[in-house]
Amino acid sequence: MDFNTLFFGIIIVLSLAVFLYAGKFRASEKQRNRDDKINWQSARYRHLRTILLIMVGILAVAMLARWLMS
Amino acid sequence: MSKHNALQMFGRSGNPALNDNTFRNEGRVIGQTMTLQGTVNKTGLLLSILVLTAMYTWNLFFQTGNPAAVMPIATGGAIGGLILALVTIFKKTWSPITAPIYAALEGLFLGGISAIFEYQYPGIVIQATGLTLGTLASLLILYKLGIIQPTENFRLMIVSATMGIAVLYFISMIMNMFGSTGIGFIHSNGLFGIGFSLFVVAIAALNLVLDFDFIEQGAEMGAPKYMEWFGAFTLMVTLIWLYLEMLRLLAKLRSR
């Protein structure tokens, strides 16, 4: 096993352990008790889903056109 | 489809899953509600599914030594994953079914792409995986401790940058399809190209902070149980994007 594999392998194992352990705990009071938290219930960015759908639609048409041309 | 095209296709996903009236109409429910533990477990499960299917295309490439043997499966995985991602974004209640299928399809794609990168630059995949998961763990700790505090302005900045990157990739991909060289600096290994990749990696990483906040608030507000799958799905979307961008950045650095 070379150094690259060993070093990054340890990072992977440690990171997964940190994620699986720390992820289940609630965030600190400092994080939770703020007045400027994101309001995930607002529909402010709702239109982005539509834009994404349009982009995928254009992409599908372009792929079809390319396939027909070839 | 070239590997760059495939990467760009995924890059578009960015983080639109988190534009949201996500908790709207979900209400506070009695009984089974979303928990942090449940979301972490489901993320672990999705990661395991992804790795299992990735191993299939990875092994297929190294057995045949021929990119043409894996590209149809990898491309199918990328397109299927994109469709499943859209379905999940629009029908969150289906996420307990669509999220695992999404992970499986993306695994097929990532396994193929990763094998091709590994063949060209030995050792690159473990580096990209280590950096991606290292970023995940570091940002999670920074978020939990309240050192990074996502606000509406932070969200606006990250969403704007993500959409900008998505549009750039989209235009480049369309141009590539019709014979143009596309937007050159995106793929160049010059200073500008590497700078661009660093910027994209930073934006993808900061999307993780939005994911953490979304999951934390979902659990705090008592969102329905299926939102655990949706939370895990949003985290997967960002992680896959971050991994691909890490892979691209490392490849650019190694090719100099």
B109-144 pLDDT, tens digit each? 999 999 999 999 999 999 999 999 999 999 999 999
**Pick from B48, B76, B44, B74: which is nearest to B61 by CA?**
B74
pLDDT of B205 higher than 70: yes
From B131, B134, B173, residue closest to A59, measured CB to CB:
B173
User: What's the pLDDT at A44?
Assistant: 80
- Burial-class residue B153 by CB neighbours within 10 Å (0-12, 13-18, 19+): exposed
Residue B161 distance to chain A (closest CA, Å): 13
Question: How far is Cα B226 from Cα B229, in angstroms, rounded to an integer?
Answer: 5
From A22, A41, A55, residue closest to B23, measured CB to CB:
A41
The predicted-structure confidence for B49-108, as pLDDT tens digits, reads as follows 999 999 999 999 999 988 899 999 999 999 999 999 999 999 999 999 999 999 999 999
User: Could you tell me which residue, B33 or A45, shows the higher pLDDT?
Assistant: B33
Interface test with B, best of A21, A52, A58, A61 (most B CBs within 10 A): A52
B20: chain A residues, CB-CB within 8 Å: 40-41, 43, 45-46
The predicted-structure confidence for A36-66, as pLDDT tens digits, reads as follows 999 998 878 888 888 999 999 999 999 999 8
The verdict on a CB contact (< 8 Å) between A52 and B12 is yes
pLDDT of B163 higher than 70: yes
Question: How far is Cα B56 from Cα B79, in angstroms, rounded to an integer?
Answer: 18
Instruction: Extract the runs of DSSP E, i.e. beta strands, from chain B.
Output: none
User: What's the pLDDT at B65?
Assistant: 87
From B21, B217, B219, residue closest to A46, measured CB to CB:
B21
Contacts 24+ apart (CB under 8 A), B147-151: B148/B209, B149/A30, B149/A31, B149/A34, B149/A36, B150/A37, B150/A38, B150/B209, B150/B210, B150/B213, B151/A34, B151/A36, B151/A37, B151/A38
Contacts 24+ apart (CB under 8 A), A1-6: A2/B123, A4/B123, A4/B126, A4/B127, A5/B123, A5/B126
Question: Among all residues of chain A, which has the CA nearest to that of B213?
Answer: A38
pLDDT of B2 higher than 80: no
The predicted-structure confidence for B11-30, as pLDDT tens digits, reads as follows 333 455 655 455 555 555 55
User: What's the pLDDT at B209?
Assistant: 97
What's the Cα-to-Cα distance from B219 to each of B23, B238, B254, rounded to whole Å?
Answer: 11, 19, 42
Tokens 């990483």 found at: B205
The number of folded domains in chain B is 1
The angle at the Cα of B206, spanning B156 to B144, to the nearest 5 degrees, equals 105
The predicted-structure confidence for B177-192, as pLDDT tens digits, reads as follows 887 777 777 888 889 9
- What are phi and psi for residue B32, nearest 5 degrees? -70, 115
User: What's the pLDDT at B15?
Assistant: 57
User: What's the pLDDT at B187?
Assistant: 82
Question: Among all residues of chain A, which has the CA nearest to that of B126?
Answer: A8
Q: Report the length, in residues, of chain B.
A: 256
Which residues are paired to B33 by β-bridges?
A: B224
Torsion sign (Cα): B68, B73, B74, B75: positive
Size of interface A-B (CB pairs under 8 A): 159
ipTM rounded to 2 decimals: 0.92
Residue B105 distance to chain A (closest CA, Å): 18
Question: How far is Cα A68 from Cα B7, in angstroms, rounded to an integer?
Answer: 23
What is the DSSP secondary structure assignment for residue A28, as one 8-state letter? P
Provide, rounded to the nearest whole percent, the portion of chain B with pLDDT above 90.
78
User: What's the pLDDT at B148?
Assistant: 96
Q: Which residues contact B206 (CB under 8 A, 6 or more apart)?
A: B154, B158
From A9, A31, A37, residue closest to B126, measured CB to CB:
A9
* Domain containing residue B95: 3-254
What's the Cα-to-Cα distance from A55 to each of B12, B161, B162, B170, rounded to whole Å?
Answer: 9, 17, 14, 7
Question: How far is Cα B168 from Cα B182, in angstroms, rounded to an integer?
Answer: 10
**Pick from B215, B241, B207, B206: which is nearest to B43 by CA?**
B215
